[in-house]
Structure 1
Amino acid sequence: MGIDLGTQSVRALAVTDDGHVLGRGSAPLTGRRDGNRHEQLPADWWEGARTAIRQTLRHLSAARVRGLAVCGTSGTVLLTDARGTPLTPALMYDDGRAGAEARDAQEAGADVWRALGHRIQPSWALAKLLWLVRADRGPGAPGFRGARVCHQPDFVTGRLVGGPVPTDSSHALKTGYDPRARTWPTAVHEELGLSGLDFPDVVAPGTLLGTVCREAAAGTGLAEGTPVLAGMTDGCAAQLGSGAWETGQWNTVLGTTLVLKGVTAEPLRDPAGVLYSHRSPDGTWLPGGASSVGAGALTQAFPGADLARLDRLAADREPASAVAYPLVSRGERFPFLAADAEAFLLGRPVDDADHHAALLQGVALVERLCLAYVGLLGAPVDGPVTFTGGATRSPYWNQLRADVMGRTAIIPEHTDSALGMAVLAAHGVSRGASATADDSVPVPLSALRSMVRVRTILEPRPRAGRRFAEPFVTLVDELERRGWLPPRTAAYAREHG
């Protein structure tokens, strides 16, 4: 069973070794958004997980669940007491209040981050922890000394096993963890004034965290004693669920925002620090980044609209009258870092269908730019790209993205991150679920290939793709003109993108 803690919902999926879905469930999530603030209550995650798990088990014996893993949004963090009770709300992945703290954390650990090949961004958990600690220094503040650092899945897995658990190396990355040395940067924590916090032990994804306790069994319907395994971030989970597990393969997750991840034999170094590399359960590396463009721009522009109808109309607007940069929220994280980046439209759409087409095309153009950027860093990007995420429900958008990128697109039968966590749970169980981050013996994911079924293979249409050559250059030029896209990246994209 895989459980995905998303932005708007919790989703659960139970799947057999040959990819047959036995059950699924979901529950909505809400949060507090106010300007650059985005918070959720951790108790809501647990209630949502309980509901989603119970729905998944409606027609399935709990005894059949051999293990489960949980993923969450990357960079989401909170503080708890030693027993796991929340002391703060959760600062979500796109909470943007920690800009100054990100700069301070980057400066304090510049040598560490340079060696790892990334930069600390305002969306990263380390910056948010520093913001929480600094915000707590006013008169009457309760004080967080001894408070435990908790990532989104840690809270739910802790409830499942009945107490605080180690975190996984995937979620720990944006909290400053070094996945190569397998250590926390304690000297950096000391300099930032974070040494008073309790940073959890870190284990490899797929490591056994414990088993479902009696109380959690009663609340979820799971069998007491069911193994609970360490998960990964939602982007990495989508990578596992996509079946893109071989070196040189890439996957794009298009939901509210856009995530691009691939597989390399070694970490991919990025001088600009906007790309970062997670460690895969089988010992390879998963470099990638998260852009702030995505399908969320559609719901913002057309709340409550029939998007399928707009898709049909958009098919006659290739290219649209306007070129869009469809940011969901202020600030960009990948393929360039620009805290002041804002959404824009070059040109004026003639109607809603034209506007919708511009947004669909804009996301695809940024996706193409992301792929060009990893090519600039030396990664192979010529092969097929796998599409996952909620946006794959749109057949038109899938084909458009394949056309704009000029790549064969592979769409799995099940495209949510919950499948990736089911794959990871199976991987952990298959190796005995007992390895730690220091003594794990990688097991090839290829042994689990039958868990991921392919739904559709789309070939790019060259004639359609050529229509977007000019809009792509127009977007690249504008991003460079505004000072957001570095000239070297822009030049490479114009020539090779």
Structure 2
Amino acid sequence: MSGGATRLALGVDLGSSGLRVALVDPAGGLHHQAGCAYPGPFVQPRTWQQGLTQLCGAIPLPLRRRVAGLAVAGTSGTLVAVDTNGHPLGEALPYNAAQPQWASRCRQLAEPGHPAASASGTMARALELQQRYPHAHGLRHQAEWLTGWLLDQWHWGDMHNSLKLGWDPVQGGWSGVIGSQPWSRLLPRVVRPGTALGPLHPTVAHQLGLPTAAQVVAGTTDSNAAVLAVDPQPGDGVTVLGTTMALKQLCPEPLQDAGVYSHPVGNQWLVGGASNSGGGVLRQFFDSATIAALSRQLDPRYPTGLHYLPLPAPGERFPVDDPRLMPRLEPRPVSDALFLQGLLEGIAAVEARGWARLQVLGAPPVRRVLTVGGGARNPVWRQLRQQALGCPVLNRPHASTACGAAQLARRGLAAVNCDATT
């Protein structure tokens, strides 16, 4: 990198339907953004690195040479078992793969009310993976595994991804008796998101076409990165409308209840939860072009009265934590437009119940909602949600999760530079 060139931070978003990358400068200006589908099944970790290699290769060379740091955001709760060299022992268990058979054991391990005490949390998937792979050397979340590949060392984890696995950010350790279990050696060494972990491994740097001096920064979850991208202010709620739906807001104190998460961000807490409802339900019935065409036929002034509970399969995480909750998608009207409106109304109702749940637990009232993700591109859905929530809803379709991960990498670089000058 030439002495006068502005250093850039690279953000990587491992979403449920594909990957995205974004490059930002020290002032937060966006220089490049691109995405692609996974080259293989989402649950195969090798497709995560293959997709990143593809996207980095498409970044113009002058920009690639200016990358000084990078951070990865991944789907919250997607977990993979690895051997001593970090190689996956099998497919990852995805974020929405509840393991109700481990519910009672999770409650024995974690403190009551901790996210790890739920069968929908990552601890239940960890117990399942331990049973499947008794000789596993480690358990890593999606973002942590790819971060390990970038470094060629897999012992790091971050506070945000590790929360559902049992990390207690208030106490600074593992909840309940998790840390004293014989298999606790499988758990990562947890650091704060934004912590600089070291430079890219030379072999990986060559494969990606990035400088070997680029710093790898501890990442976060996809929904938290989306929140970082919009920089919420007091009174703001942030809804991430992707394949699933996540609700987040800043709170002075952490909240604790089943399906509710509290992540430390600076001197505040990012509290919220993630529902299985979202765009994935819509795509079970319509493709993106059909959704856009049908949406133009909808009239939000006239509710359908269908009262759907749009879940892609049995099981919900938030605003109720019930791995056996059944979807409600009938009766289906003859009109596809009315059916779509009923689905959109149902997802908006889930969102309204989610914000109400957080307020009951002690979160500040939400005065407006900022929306990111694919659903932020649909203006009719915004109107339906605004009616359901009773407050202004603003779409931020260009605030991507990859941009939020890049902002995290930028902060990590700033901290490294500050340490170097003191």
Find the partner of 1:236 among 196, 205, 224.
224
Tell me, yes or no, if structure 1 residue 144 matches structure 2 residue 135.
yes
Quote how far apart the aligned CAs of 1:313 are: 1.2
Find the partner of 2:315 among 328, 331, 336.
331
1:317-466 matches, within 5 Å, as 318-345=302-329, 347-412=331-396, 414-432=398-416
Distance 1:408 1:229, change over 3 A: same
How many residues were matched structurally? Answer: 410
Aligned residue number for residue 100 of structure 1: 101
Find the partner of 1:199 among 187, 190, 200.
187
Is the 8 Å Cα contact of residues 25 and 51 (structure 1) preserved in structure 2? no
Find the partner of 2:200 among 189, 196, 212.
212
Aligned residue number for residue 121 of structure 1: 118
Aligned residue number for residue 459 of structure 1: none
* Matches of 2:145 and 2:18, distance apart in 1: 16
Distance 1:428 1:387, change over 3 A: same
Aligned residue number for residue 472 of structure 1: none
* Matches of 2:26 and 2:237, distance apart in 1: 23
Deviations 1:45-88 (A, max 9, x none): 11011112222x22642232232110101111111122211123
Q: Give 3-state SS (helix, strand or coil) of 1:362's partner.
A: helix
* Matches of 1:287 and 1:311, distance apart in 2: 31
Q: Give 3-state SS (helix, strand or coil) of 2:84's partner.
A: coil
Quote how far apart the aligned CAs of 1:424 are: 0.9
Tell me, yes or no, if structure 1 residue 310 matches structure 2 residue 311.
no
RMSD (Å), alpha carbons: 2.2
* Matches of 2:101 and 2:381, distance apart in 1: 38
Find the partner of 1:132 among 129, 132, 137.
129
* Matches of 1:181 and 1:322, distance apart in 2: 45
Deviations 1:247-297 (A, max 9, x none): 443111011111001111110233xx22121111x1311111011111111
* Matches of 1:263 and 1:231, distance apart in 2: 19
Quote how far apart the aligned CAs of 1:311 are: 0.4
Tell me, yes or no, if structure 1 residue 53 matches structure 2 residue 37.
no
Tell me, yes or no, if structure 1 residue 175 matches structure 2 residue 165.
yes
Aligned residue number for residue 7 of structure 2: none
* Matches of 1:67 and 1:108, distance apart in 2: 37
Aligned residue number for residue 14 of structure 1: 23
TM-score scaled by length of structure 1: 0.77
Distance 1:122 1:20, change over 3 A: same
Aligned residue number for residue 163 of structure 1: 153
* Matches of 2:345 and 2:292, distance apart in 1: 15
Distance 1:43 1:363, change over 3 A: same
What is the one-letter code of the residue matched to 2:395? I
Is the 8 Å Cα contact of residues 314 and 325 (structure 2) preserved in structure 1? yes
Where do 4+ consecutive residues of structure 1 move more than 4 Å? none
Tell me, yes or no, if structure 1 residue 252 matches structure 2 residue 270.
no
What is the one-letter code of the residue matched to 1:213? H
What is the one-letter code of the residue matched to 2:19? V
Quote how far apart the aligned CAs of 1:321 are: 4.8
* Matches of 1:168 and 1:432, distance apart in 2: 18
What is the one-letter code of the residue matched to 1:3? V
Is the 8 Å Cα contact of residues 320 and 358 (structure 1) preserved in structure 2? yes
Q: Give 3-state SS (helix, strand or coil) of 2:197's partner.
A: strand
Deviations 1:113-168 (A, max 9, x none): 44xx54523332211111122234xxxxxx315x1121111221122123224111
Structure 1 gaps, min length 5 = 33-38, 137-142, 436-497
Q: Give 3-state SS (helix, strand or coil) of 2:219's partner.
A: coil
Tell me, yes or no, if structure 1 residue 268 matches structure 2 residue 255.
yes
Aligned residue number for residue 2 of structure 1: 11
* Matches of 2:256 and 2:177, distance apart in 1: 23
Is the 8 Å Cα contact of residues 317 and 354 (structure 1) preserved in structure 2? no
TM-score scaled by length of structure 2: 0.90
Aligned residue number for residue 277 of structure 1: 262
Distance 1:184 1:252, change over 3 A: same
Distance 1:61 1:322, change over 3 A: same
* Matches of 1:131 and 1:7, distance apart in 2: 21
Deviations 1:168-218 (A, max 9, x none): 111111111111121134833545x524x4322111010001112221122
* Matches of 1:217 and 1:63, distance apart in 2: 11
Distance 1:351 1:393, change over 3 A: same
Quote how far apart the aligned CAs of 1:30 are: 6.7
* Matches of 1:237 and 1:220, distance apart in 2: 22
* Matches of 1:433 and 1:170, distance apart in 2: 24
What is the one-letter code of the residue matched to 1:203? V
Quote how far apart the aligned CAs of 1:20 are: 3.4
Quote how far apart the aligned CAs of 1:348 are: 4.2
Aligned residue number for residue 5 of structure 2: none
* Matches of 1:277 and 1:190, distance apart in 2: 23
Aligned residue number for residue 78 of structure 1: 80
Distance 1:18 1:343, change over 3 A: same
* Matches of 2:267 and 2:45, distance apart in 1: 31
Quote how far apart the aligned CAs of 1:11 are: 0.8
* Matches of 2:203 and 2:360, distance apart in 1: 51
* Matches of 2:298 and 2:397, distance apart in 1: 25
